[in-house]
Amino acid sequence: MTSHDARPSGRTGYTPFEEELVNAMNDFANSADAPSVDTVGILRKTRRKRVTAIAGLAAALIVAGGGTALATAVSHGSNAPRPAAATTVTDDDDATTVLVNGSKIKRDFAGLDLDFAKQLLMKSQLKLGTVSKVDCGKNGKPGSVHSVDPHSPKTVSIGDTINLTLCAG
């Protein structure tokens, strides 16, 4: 006897064990509830995990960025000059200011050391030309930017070369 054979209903053809087994299986099949799936709960849990992962990644990036800034400040000393923030264009003629024509942004190099000046040039998509030194007397910190060429009110384009003059110490 195979499972594909058709069985007659009733007692004919079944042994008592088979009949009891079939009845038990039918009772189980008719009484078992269908499993319920909480799709809304599963979706909520998935979104919560995704949001938590994104928040954790963002926090890690913030901490890594803060650690980098802290390490830079520590390696250059606590009194190291900070890179100047970009400001909007003004009409003043300043020997340490570069006006970037493409974005109409004013970059101030006053008091920066050579490393910070190079970083600001790269950020502004400008190239470093010659670096020279001049005696500033007591007016400038040795190694800091004294002047840039070309400087405002002349404007430069992205990719132009900027020459720096540093205070000699």
pLDDT in tens, 28-58: 888 767 777 788 888 889 999 999 998 888 8
pLDDT-derived band at 7 (thresholds 50, 70, 90) equals low
Q: Do 87 and 134 form a contact (C-beta atoms < 8 A)? A: no
Query: Is residue 94 pLDDT above 90, yes or no?
Result: no
pLDDT-derived band at 86 (thresholds 50, 70, 90) equals very low
For the chain, percent of residues with pLDDT exceeding 70: 70
Q: Which residue has the higher pLDDT, 3 or 106?
A: 106
pLDDT-derived band at 13 (thresholds 50, 70, 90) equals confident
Return the pLDDT at 85.
Answer: 42
Q: Do 143 and 114 form a contact (C-beta atoms < 8 A)? A: yes
pLDDT in tens, 114-148: 888 888 888 888 888 999 888 887 777 888 888 88
